Structure 1
């Protein structure tokens, strides 16, 4: 159950880099809204303890329960549909203990559960030489499609797309044939065009109105402009920080933060606080810290002892990389407005604890490294 190791085998580089990212996060959250600082600080302490504990568990032992992970994932996602708390037309949270209790977001834990499940499932498909068979691919699509569909109906389109990208990348890394990839691209491109055409039709049934508006705002900002203001204000905040920023905890009406031009800035738009208060230099440093974590995950994947360990580490690296790109892309107006936390930085205990569990498993993979 537990992995025997010596201290020299422990990946302190990854552990310390993650803790530094968490500390940077609580500093920026405190600057955005200090009322959230105590909870996030407790979350960091709890996250580090959980991360170290999980890192001592043998990932081979953990992955034996991959079927259980799939069932748990389905149960918690279904519980959101039936018992979830609705906020801004979306049911993404479950409240434990009634009003004033603990609120958590199951889709955040779903990311980790699905990475562990998919890594083990693909490892078994590869052992049976079924990765590039119709039966194997159909089973893969069916199983991950179920979880993605449950997240999509909350609705949480951003998490659905991000997790889909991670799992598809894991499928590619497991040894997917380039012939199949080429066929998939030939099918995907016209489907994407048809999707954009269809969502602009009256009475379309694929997306909610606000989701369609966000996409159309990005494509036609002059025609669909009202809700695009949030991103415009974020870009203005980042630009106003210039090279070195206005300084932490700046409390003047001259700041976008204190003028309340961006709502819930401590979560999805935390990068606007970073850009405004730390400037270009601070923004680059934060991105560099997250990049180091991703590179460490890739290094662990390259040196993993088996396919399963490689896919777990690569999946976690992809999750952090994709979420960072989406969060920063939204804050800078590069992609349409959608809600995803900046890993380790944004406020949110569900995100912090779940990703700590994932990094804990990666740390265990790194302790069992044998040239893959």
Structure 2
């Protein structure tokens, strides 16, 4: 194990530690009450506990060769399906979504873990069989593999995580050989068509077959003032907070939108708004730089991987993190729809933090085994 650790790119765990600490600082501001001590902040305490659990899991994943996961891919896939089905049977509904399983005083969101599980099983599938993505037949098996957990997550009313699965799928099949031009073109057509449909709905009255609250979330993407006290409220308050932060920010624990509780979901979905208001443009750029370096380092790990399975594992994690970052920050500044996706390592949420740390553990696992050991 010591010889393996010599292969590690130590900048990756250092970046993660910095990001987690950064998140704890912003969470402490977003959840603090006047006159209360940080040691009495239950949100901060639970996030610290989740961080320690996540670090333990990272260390645990390094004890075995990631290639062993291929031998248990079928079991992992079945476990993933059963886990998602259990949510529909015994899960708790919170804020319109049946996504949580209650374990005493602790809530667990299986769809978070499902993202890592689908990365493992899809990596095995794509590495084991060479699919010809130039033909329709080549798409069938990978698409079916994804569609079952995708539909189960949609059934939980969790559109955000379902979109993450699509981003993971696109990133991994690209590395597996699918045409980048085709994927980019398809994405542009879907995005352009969606915006055109929304515009036509607003100005021409063309119907869109979506539930009311989901439709409103998309409509406020065109113009938040369509529903300023409803679906557009979150986005409007978020942009006010980020804009008021200016270059240097108002200062930690001094954001008015945050302290006066105008910002909704300020410690989870809209934590970037708190960061932007209190730490300003500088604080936001520092966070984006940390993310950029992490993803860049992960791409290097993928390129240096010994095998296709390791390369696909890292590609899946990179795709997952990149989409979370883009979507979360995008929704806080009004360029992406509000989906409820957390900001990796920054947003409050034990399931999310543990899952992201576990995913990074896979990257490090591939990294330390990129070279053959010589005895």
TM-score where L is the length of structure 1:
0.89
Counterpart selection for 1:89 from 89, 96, 103:
96
Equivalent residue for 2:169?
167
Q: Quote the Cα distance in structure 2 between the aligned partners of 1:190 and 1:271.
A: 27
Q: 1:17·1:293 contact (CA, 8 Å) conserved in 2?
A: yes
Counterparts of residues 52-63 of structure 1 (less than 5 Å): 52-63=59-70
Q: Residue by residue, what CA displacement relative to the aligned partner does 1:82-141 show, whole Å, maximum 9, x if unpaired?
A: 1111112211111113xxx21011111111011111111111122xx5554543311111
Q: CA, structure 1 residues 4+71, in 2 after alignment: closer, same or farther (shift >3 Å)?
A: farther
Give the match for residue 147 of structure 1. Answer: 149
Q: CA deviation at 1:156?
A: 0.9
Residue 212, structure 1, aligned to residue 210, structure 2: no
Q: Which residue in 1 is equivalent to 2:36?
A: none
Q: Does 1:113 align with 2:117?
A: yes
Matched residue SS, 2:107: strand
The Cα of 1:190 is off from its aligned counterpart by 8.7
* SS of structure 1 residue aligned to 2:101: strand
1:73 aligns with 2:80: yes
Structure 1 position 194, deviation (Å) = 8.8
The Cα of 1:56 is off from its aligned counterpart by 2.7
1:332-361: per-residue Cα shift (whole Å, max 9, x none)? Answer: 112122211000010001011111111111
Residue in structure 1 matched with residue 279 of structure 2 by the alignment: 278
CA distance, structure 1, for counterparts of residue 48 and residue 12 of structure 2: 20
The answer to whether the 8 Å contact 1:85/1:91 transfers is: yes
* Distance change (3 Å), C-alpha of 1:249 and 1:188: closer
> More deviation in 63-72 or 298-307?
63-72
Q: Does 1:228 align with 2:226?
A: no
2:240 and 2:184 map into 1 onto residues whose CA distance is: 41
Q: What CA deviation, in whole Å up to 9, does each residue of 1:248-275 have, x standing for no partner?
A: 122xxx7001111122210010001111
State how many pairs are aligned.
Answer: 359
Q: After superposition, where does 1:1-372 map in structure 2 within 5 Å?
A: 5-34=3-32, 35=41, 36-97=43-104, 101-126=105-130, 130-177=132-179, 181=183, 188=190, 192=194, 196=198, 205=209, 207-226=210-229, 227-250=231-254, 255-369=256-370
Whether contact under 8 Å (2:5, 2:368) holds in the other structure is: no
Larger mean CA deviation between 114-123 and 159-168 belongs to 159-168
CA distance in 2, matches of 1:311, 1:29: 33
Q: 1:238 to 1:146 in 2, by over 3 A?
A: same
Distance 1:149 1:191, change over 3 A: farther
Structure 1 residue 246: deviation in Å? 1.6
Between the aligned partners of 1:8 and 1:55, the Cα distance in structure 2 is 13
TM-score by length of 2: 0.88
Which consecutive residues of structure 2, in runs of 5 or more, have no partner in the other structure? 33-40
- Render the CA deviation track for 1:257-310: whole Å, top value 9, x for unaligned: 111112221001000111111111011111111211111111101111111111
Mapped partners of 1:189, 1:243: distance in 2 = 32
Cα distance change on mapping 1:92 and 1:45 into 2, 3 Å? same
| Alpha-carbon distance, 1:68 to partner | 1.4
Calculate the aligned-residue CA RMSD, in Å.
Answer: 2.5
User: Following TM superposition, where does structure 1 have runs of at least 4 consecutive aligned residues deviating by more than 4 angstroms?
Assistant: 129-133, 177-202
| Deviation, structure 1 residue 193 | 7.1
- Partner Cα separation in structure 2 for residue 147 and residue 194 of structure 1: 29
5+ long unaligned stretches in structure 1: none
